[in-house]
Amino acid sequence: MSRTSETAEEAEQFFQAFHKPGLGYDKCVAEYNKVVGSYTNSATAVSYRGPRYCAQMLSGLIEDITNAQVLDIAAGTGLVGQELRKKGFTHIDAHDGAESMVEYCKNTGFYENFFVSFVGDGHRLPIKDKTYDGVTCCGATVENHLPPSAQAEFIRVIKPGGFFVNAYRATLPDCEYGKNWRAEAQKLENDGKWILYGRLAFTKFNKFTDANLTQQWLQRYGWEILPHLAQSLDLAPSAFHLFGSLKRHLGGMAFETEDELISELRNWFDNLDVDFFRVGINSLLSRWQKCIHLHGDYVEK
């Protein structure tokens, strides 16, 4: 099977090969230089959403997007650059440790300047201090890619008040590399070099990350996976509990503007207590039993 028609499973295996412990930075870069032509196809195959999340986050932090200077660390084939362009960023520079990746980025039209270099562990970016309003990094906070010490270099090239947006897999904190990365980030914060502005968990970083993490939690706690009927709204708490309650709450109300509706929705969600969600989750068992025993011929009004 060719790279262009690979399955999602094959594409995920392709990416995991670069995360293999012991591969090292030099060999990892050498491997990337061989596969630059197929990287984007593999990212598409696994529904890689990280670049979009990364661009969305930075666009929400920076006010003057048109004039902002942005550095895309470990740019790969320019997936983040493409998403940043969609958000209105025009002054974007590309960095990568693999020369073939940077050469590929030159043909995308997303970037202005280009840098090939290792970062961290004594290696400096060939960039002046306080150059960028924002630095992005997506998918490179993994073994064999960026050492934890690279974070100090990101700080060096960001202007005071600028932002570093880092999108990574949810499993990062569970591995030794991730723990070292977080420890270094905390040390830099303790030293007053930067401040953790926030951490958000986005579902579906790619097609596999959430599924893998869910499986780990199921195994850890020994939870049983119950059979269910595909596409059964009777077993979706959002359908039978959340939206049903919301429909009853909004019944009889009238709104002149969209903003009034949004305001009412926010107030309703803000006033929900823990018991509301507990009731919805606890109702799953009885609903599951009814739906399965009646072979799906069940709707509760």
Q: What CATH code is carried by the domain that includes residue 159?
A: 3.40.50.150
Provide the strand spans (E) within the chain.
69-73, 91-96, 114-116, 132-138, 158-167
> Shortest CA distance to 82 belongs to which of 45, 111, 58?
111
Looking at the structure, tell me whether residues 52 and 201 fall in a common domain.
yes
Sheet holding 132-138, edge to edge: 114-116, 91-96, 69-73, 132-138, 158-167
Cα separation of 208 and 215, whole Å? 11
Global pTM? 0.68
Cα separation of 268 and 281, whole Å? 19
Looking at the structure, tell me whether residues 131 and 253 fall in a common domain.
no
Looking at the structure, tell me whether residues 127 and 246 fall in a common domain.
no
Q: What is the DSSP letter of 145?
A: T
Burial (CB < 10 A; 0-12, 13-18, 19+), residue 301, is: exposed
Looking at the structure, tell me whether residues 124 and 45 fall in a common domain.
yes
Cβ neighbours of residue 177 closer than 8 Å, sequence gap 6 or more: 142, 143, 148
pLDDT at 1: 34
Q: 187: domain range?
A: 1-225
Q: What is the DSSP string of 209-236?
A: HHHHHHHHHHHHHT-------TT-GGG-
**Structural domain ending residue among the three candidates 185, 204, 225:** 225
Q: Does residue 299 sit within a domain?
A: no
Q: Does residue 298 sit within a domain?
A: no
Q: Does residue 204 sit within a domain?
A: yes
Looking at the structure, tell me whether residues 99 and 203 fall in a common domain.
yes
Looking at the structure, tell me whether residues 208 and 243 fall in a common domain.
no
Looking at the structure, tell me whether residues 17 and 87 fall in a common domain.
yes
Looking at the structure, tell me whether residues 220 and 241 fall in a common domain.
no
Q: Does residue 17 sit within a domain?
A: yes
Looking at the structure, tell me whether residues 254 and 188 fall in a common domain.
no
Q: Does residue 128 sit within a domain?
A: yes
One pLDDT digit (tens) per residue for the chain, 301 residues = 334 456 767 777 777 778 788 888 888 888 888 877 777 777 776 678 889 989 999 998 999 999 999 999 999 999 999 999 999 999 999 999 999 999 999 999 999 999 999 999 999 999 999 999 999 999 899 898 999 999 999 999 999 999 999 998 777 777 899 999 999 999 999 999 999 887 766 555 665 555 555 666 666 667 766 655 544 555 666 666 788 888 889 999 999 998 899 889 988 988 888 888 888 878 777 777 776 666 556 555 5
**Structural domain ending residue among the three candidates 194, 225, 256:** 225
Q: Does residue 36 sit within a domain?
A: yes
Q: Does residue 67 sit within a domain?
A: yes
Q: Does residue 301 sit within a domain?
A: no
Looking at the structure, tell me whether residues 221 and 265 fall in a common domain.
no
Looking at the structure, tell me whether residues 53 and 161 fall in a common domain.
yes
Looking at the structure, tell me whether residues 52 and 103 fall in a common domain.
yes
Our count of domains for the chain comes to: 2
**Structural domain ending residue among the three candidates 225, 250, 276:** 225
